[in-house]
Structure 1
């Protein structure tokens, strides 16, 4: 007995699919819209609502906005934030673009290691990097300053990390991975025929790079600059560690001050969030316009994989430049953190007599707060990444397959948190869910929900990219043969997305593990995570304990990353073996 499938037009097939059990589809879409309302719309609505109310009388007012732009103590942090963000983006671009070119397009030695160590800077929380540089370059006790004084006899430090310059330096080296990754990907995908033509016509390596290569990837360079600017504008940990001791405030640390007052100025904090939202939103709009107008393409031909520019004698100077970020963002701060975590007293400097495992024993075995924070970090990050990928992938499927009308609105609402700084979203969740009827303050639920909302755009984008590589034909055939949407999605689409889902989970897990600004207003001693624990310990001045906790956070994150990568490789290998077996059959 055979099955006869009658040919029909694509429009007829689409209509048939849409008319198949519509109540299931609309039930799922309704659940998605409810989730987006609670995760995105309600917290942002509360920020806007609170910003127009007075903290004392709770009456409707525009006084918060008048105070924001007239009070010197409130306007200066905004100016400081812009200076920090622009300088961070500029330095990050100056380091990241040449680094990407050296790694992607030249025969510089050690390219794979440079790429690996540069991406390790992405895994490293920037505030932990700031902590490492406090140990290295604090004006009085920093080891590098001590060596400088011993070598030169100078009474002045080589570098004062507690300064705007120090904050710019640390922010930049931890935002370089954004520029590096974007530009290196553009270089990897770019055809090389124009470069060959320039070389044939007598252009040297430098002239070819400046007149051909960089203009071809300029959209990627600009996008990297914008992302670095936004990172510099919205970071909380680095300014809190490096600028607060010198009395220099930025927008994010000023927001924290509003909550530390008694009584806290919650409504003023909401108004203070609005310039950040408008600025980051405007920059993302510029980014979208740049990408939308991108016309730097090669027509015809394929790039010849493996072509590398021969740097000749410049290979080693190029390697010295390429080592700047790995050394300053990974090797030096990691060394400082590990040595201090193994020290009885870090001020005595590295020595065999000063070695001890006491702080790891204290953190893992003796201190209940650290034990709880380790468990909470891994649990919250795992649950958040799982929920984020499930929701993001489901939304991506609805949008990409256009199961309902209005998918552009759903996509826009899903992506909206990408323009909201983490600390601003934290303010929104505090306002929305720390009061009746839900009153979630002090629970794991409010933290997980905030993490899911913050990183949902990442999961959604990953799901969209994965689905674009999967033809809908198999889904259409299954639906025509009677399979429901749910069964088609679970039995056909999800297995084909398996490798992408693991990658998406990892892309969410890593930033959740290193996120400080989202959690800073929402944690209690019961729900502390490693990032907030380290932040609080640092104020106590016990750098040995802080370093041990930081090393544990880094090791735990990288262990989970390694396991997830191993699973991803296994899944990819299984998929390839299965495809080869089908070809043989």
Structure 2
């Protein structure tokens, strides 16, 4: 290694620079991640707010404040994660290990649902299945004369379905990557020995993919329990509460301390399940599937089942991707969801003020609030992409080049801590952190700066992952040669690392951009009328019964997200192994 070849003074300078860099990065991460969470906890431990703990956990309102929402949250987490692993695993098996028709098409379509915001799918569900239980417009199916039962229109049932259709693509990606490493020689040997398909699945494929199954289930669980938009749109109208919606409601009505307690408990529950998943995986070590011996890719011949299984996969993917988009687009033109494909009008897009239509609300182009929200959202996405990639690159560079010591380990752990924190709880933490003045610094609530700082911190794990991939592409000897010639740290970073990995950085920045512009859970508590963002504006319109405006705004978010994602995929140099053969 380069450090081993250094002379004594050069080595001391190298490690001194590393120490300074570690301290600086650790200070940044503590300020962005640790202090907001700590400030939230300390807020609830003050003499005037500590009673919030007993109110939530043991008080006379505790059942409605915590235990009923907790039960609903756990049901959602367990059912959605189990269903996602089953559906994602089924599709991954078809794409990676079988000769199903249109395998590559299935693989591409299976990655798309996670690009669609969960509130988009919830809005589409309402446009199709909404009944007249809570008043307002009914959905298309009831408008056609069908009697839609309450369990299909509202509450737990549609919430579970929508969240499963949203998160299964996450499970698919993880499980498919794991299945792609399974050596087909193992399967062939079992077949030669007379093992049947079920025995091969239970005895070979499932054991070696256990880490991926557990990881997929854990991440889907964490995503489902922290999701705010879907239970808010489909559950709140019939008073079905989850921890995320209860947290939002407490802060909305001014019961901030109780909201913070619920947020802390939500973080602990999400973190506990992720920790348990990691413990299950780390408890066993017999998962090695990649060895020095080459393997041949051989797919199962589905024979007469090829087309029936393709039809099943096609129905799932259509329900998760194509149908919601079609419904959203149609609803943005239809005056009534009950008559979704007739009497279309462009008013919701380009219409001017008219007191006789849509209660006088002008179309998107002439709606100053929506136009402002679009500009703020695009500016937020760009700002978070730039700041996130800068902090992520600096963090990953520090850990990659100066690995020794406790500070490096602390930097790694803290940088991935936001993965354990649900978005709405993270937003609440930032209200506690920067919502009030700190010494000479003014309160940032309602400012663009707060949105940028919170978004940068929340998406830091993704920025660090991208930065780590970038650093691995650049050999350390290049920077060492520049250092010997006297180039400073920032000069080396700007002249060597960034130019050589600019495509990867750009792709990572675009993905961060996509995540923040379609996020609702993080920004729903940070939203103010003076600093609107599209996702919250869409949610507000939907909550107030203006589904057409909400769906039109969501279509705009979808168009921006899909375009940006396609650009990012084009920039990526890594290929998906299950699509190569």
What TM-score, normalized by structure 1, do the two folds share? 0.88
Equivalent of 2:139 in 142, 145, 150: 142
**1:554 CA drift (Å):** 0.5
Q: Which residue pairs with 2:272 in the alignment?
A: 282
In structure 2, the CA distance between the partners of 1:23 and 1:523, relative to structure 1 (3 Å rule), is: farther
When the two chains are superposed, the root-mean-square deviation of aligned CA atoms in Å is 2.4
In structure 2, the CA distance between the partners of 1:105 and 1:16, relative to structure 1 (3 Å rule), is: farther
Does structure 1 residue 38 correspond to structure 2 residue 39? no
Q: Which residue pairs with 2:414 in the alignment?
A: 413
In structure 2, the CA distance between the partners of 1:21 and 1:99, relative to structure 1 (3 Å rule), is: closer
Q: Which residue pairs with 2:392 in the alignment?
A: 392
Does structure 1 residue 462 correspond to structure 2 residue 466? yes
What is the rounded CA distance, in whole Å, between the counterparts of 2:375 and 2:29 in structure 1?
Answer: 28
Q: Which residue pairs with 1:268 in the alignment?
A: 258
Structure 1 unaligned residues grouped into runs of 5+: 1-7, 573-585
Q: Is the partner of 2:112 in helix, strand or coil?
A: helix
Shifted more, 165-174 versus 404-413: the winner is 404-413
Structure 2 unaligned residues grouped into runs of 5+: 133-137, 352-362, 576-581
Q: Is the partner of 1:323 in helix, strand or coil?
A: helix
**1:487 CA drift (Å):** 2.7
Report Cα offsets for 1:339-388 as digits up to 9, x if no partner. 1112133322312xx12222111444210111111111111011101211
In structure 2, the CA distance between the partners of 1:383 and 1:268, relative to structure 1 (3 Å rule), is: same
Q: Is the partner of 1:525 in helix, strand or coil?
A: coil
What is the rounded CA distance, in whole Å, between the counterparts of 1:15 and 1:447 in structure 2?
Answer: 46
Report Cα offsets for 1:445-472 as digits up to 9, x if no partner. 0011111111101111222234335432
Q: Which residue pairs with 1:516 in the alignment?
A: 520
Q: Which residue pairs with 1:73 in the alignment?
A: 64
Q: Which residue pairs with 2:548 in the alignment?
A: 544
Q: Which residue pairs with 1:200 in the alignment?
A: 192
Q: Which residue pairs with 2:135 in the alignment?
A: none
Report Cα offsets for 1:202-224 as digits up to 9, x if no partner. 33444423321122111101111
What is the rounded CA distance, in whole Å, between the counterparts of 1:433 and 1:366 in structure 2?
Answer: 34
Does structure 1 residue 329 correspond to structure 2 residue 320? yes
What is the rounded CA distance, in whole Å, between the counterparts of 2:150 and 2:543 in structure 1?
Answer: 25
**1:14 CA drift (Å):** 8.6
What is the rounded CA distance, in whole Å, between the counterparts of 2:551 and 2:332 in structure 1?
Answer: 5
Q: Is the partner of 1:78 in helix, strand or coil?
A: helix
Report Cα offsets for 1:26-59 as digits up to 9, x if no partner. 5544442332232112211111011223xxxx62
In structure 2, the CA distance between the partners of 1:568 and 1:72, relative to structure 1 (3 Å rule), is: closer
Shifted more, 196-205 versus 434-443: the winner is 196-205
Query: How many pairs does the alignment contain?
Result: 549
Q: How does 1:178-217 map to 2 (within 5 A)?
A: 178-217=170-209
Equivalent of 2:350 in 347, 361, 366: 361
Q: Which residue pairs with 1:373 in the alignment?
A: 373
Equivalent of 1:301 in 293, 299, 304: 293
Q: How does 1:438-477 map to 2 (within 5 A)?
A: 438-477=442-481
**1:441 CA drift (Å):** 1.2
Q: How does 1:236-251 map to 2 (within 5 A)?
A: 236-251=228-243
In structure 2, the CA distance between the partners of 1:10 and 1:568, relative to structure 1 (3 Å rule), is: closer
What is the rounded CA distance, in whole Å, between the counterparts of 1:240 and 1:207 in structure 2?
Answer: 43
Q: Is the partner of 1:387 in helix, strand or coil?
A: helix
